Amino acid sequence: MKPYTTLVIDDEQLARKHLRKLLASFQNTFNIIGEAKNGIEAEKIITELQPELIFLDIEMPSQNGFELLSKLTTVPIVIFCTAYEEYSLKAFDTNSIDYLVKPIKLERLQKTVNKLNSLKNKLDPSTLLKVVQSISEKKEAKKMTSITVKKKDKIIFLKLEDITYFEAKDKYVLVHTTNKKELIEQSLSKLESKLPEEFLRVHRGFIINTTFIKNFQKYFNSRYIITLKNKQQTKITSGRSYKEQLKIWMDI
């Protein structure tokens, strides 16, 4: 069977590079004919090149993956890529589509390849629009732009761009900004599901703002020492279980 002509659509350059690297292991299944960094660009390329299959990021600025699909007159086979599990992804488990949760791993991509090979000519991308319509009707979670902190009878707002890292403290989280610290009553896991992509979980006790990363230094047991560009030159040691997503972020 000829490889599927394939388009990679993701607003993150590192994510596109990582996926293309993985897809290179399956040249008999995927023939990459291009990539797009947003929905508007993807719409033009899909209309022009008519790819048979697309890897599509759901969360993109200006026009998300669902909005892109709703504008297409001809829908290719779609494999969704998402960092968020709050979407009802089981609804996508049809004969026409698949989904991958970031960070994407080679073993999970192999399952996608197996599914494509087993379905062959049974794929019917037109059924996708019904799924997209039902998902689009659901309210999307608002993207967080600031953190609220309660101080007695006042509520103050901390801009995310000023936050260098979050640190777990018992049942609370200590928010470190460029010039102060504040305690909030949220778990790191809850924060991780809401924070934008520039925030990276590097340890069960730390989430860092990657815009403040100065450098990485290899440490033993597959860990890294991360130095931040704040006044304190804070050093945070990553956890072993976060090795893969750090490598993806560093593109190594």
Domains of the chain: 4-136 (3.40.50.2300), 146-250 (2.40.50.1020)
CA distances from 114 to 7, 108, 126 (A): 19, 10, 21
pLDDT on residue 27: 95
What pLDDT is attached to residue 72? 85
Q: How far is CA 173 from the centre of its chain?
A: 23
**Higher-scoring residue by pLDDT: 182, 190:** 182
Q: Which helix (H) or strand (E) holds 44?
A: helix 39-49
Which has the minimum average pLDDT: 30-44, 88-102, 225-239?
88-102
153-157 long-range contacts (CB < 8 A, ≥24 apart) are 156/182
Q: What DSSP state is assigned to residue 141?
A: P
Q: Which pLDDT value is given to residue 142? A: 46
- Mean pLDDT of the 187-196 span: 85
Separation between Cα atoms, residue 206 and residue 235, nearest integer Å: 11
